[in-house]
Chains A and B, each alone.
Chain A
């Protein structure tokens, strides 16, 4: 290799006025926010929510979650991400410091199945103070059991840990919500991937 990689460093506790300004009420524009798909996007509109827990089971109130997903046809967008776009954007970012229960949330659509996978999923990156290197994971959907059973990546995860990657469908008064928590450590530790 001609050049060595630049080391990762922690996002720290004070990212909000730089990376998630709109969500936290700082006077700075956003290039990405918790809306992955606007109201005009094709597909089934859903919300994904969850809480991040540390090794003692405490809610993490200064994490930042990013998701990247395919559209309803299973295609990753090649259009620039634009927070003014009322259609599909593909990328979302949410901090856990503004919800009363320190949840993250994303307004999105259920992705289609991408060409080299067998089940729909959302790609996830977890950042926080106390992580020197961010962690990659995925969210799958619990109402896709038949497809999940065929997905190579999901099936490569030990069976007793697979549930940590599967979001649970809940019908709420404001639409369909998939809930999934991220556990950094412990018995329910989320499976993270080296991608």
Chain B
């Protein structure tokens, strides 16, 4: 029996998704070949707490050169768990995003919006024993892209986790509630299942909002569960 439950392909976009043009030449044209996962896929990299440095979880501070970054400060809280609800401890969550003006630090980004000398837009954090993670950042801006006429990406933060095994690897994007661009964004919409899409949208949380400092959002990351290991609590 495979270590992990099969990937729920209904929760994911197709490999070739015509609305997102770049998939036409880059998505595999043949269905992936199913193999029984074993030792290989059940194992995966672990990271020491020291791989997350002191300011890595605070994007409002880890790119400062001469002052605070511009934009709306937010705090993102979430849990990494599996489809059986088991929290995933000691998981590194890597994040990167555009600045408040919708510009990435990446050299390839040529969007005519200003860089912020005090915001790099990358960081990481680690889940605690209960699978909880959190990071501070600036709410990212929307930006145009070349997919179609007047195409704009909704505000989003990229997140990357390995999870408990190489097979549970996930790279995703967190969106914001109420963003009118979501209904127009093929990257979001190519996940055909509406309930699955909802899982990509963070929830605003007044409980997580920090008085006088930062708006709070909650974004949980759900990875494939294990076979043959019923929920423990």
Indicate if the CB atoms of A15 and B96 lie closer than 8 Å: yes
B: contact size bracket:
35 or more
Complex Cα spacing A65 to B77, Å? 29
Residue A12, interface by CB 8 Å? yes
Complex Cα spacing A115 to B82, Å? 27
Q: How many A-B residue pairs have CB under 8 A?
A: 248
15 contacts between A and B (CB under 8 A): A3-B83, A4-B195, A5-B7, A5-B199, A6-B199, A9-B172, A14-B96, A26-B122, A68-B40, A76-B39, A80-B48, A114-B39, A132-B20, A184-B26, A193-B32
A-B contact sample (14 more), CB < 8 A, given A9-B188, A123-B166: A1-B8, A5-B196, A27-B120, A76-B40, A116-B38, A117-B38, A117-B40, A123-B40, A123-B41, A132-B14, A132-B187, A192-B28, A192-B30, A194-B31
Indicate if the CB atoms of A6 and B221 lie closer than 8 Å: yes
Binding site for B on A (CB under 8 A): 1-19, 21, 24, 26-29, 31-32, 54-56, 58, 60, 62, 66, 68, 70, 76-82, 90-91, 97, 114-117, 123, 125, 127-136, 153, 156-157, 184-186, 189-195
Name the residue on A nearest B11 (C-beta): A5
Interchain residue pairs A-B with the least CB separation, the first 7: A18-B96, A130-B22, A130-B26, A18-B122, A80-B48, A55-B25, A132-B13
Indicate if the CB atoms of A62 and B223 lie closer than 8 Å: no
Indicate if the CB atoms of B28 and A6 lie closer than 8 Å: no
Q: Which residues of B contact A130 (CB under 8 A)?
A: 20, 22-27
Q: Which residues of A contact B30 (CB under 8 A)?
A: 189, 192
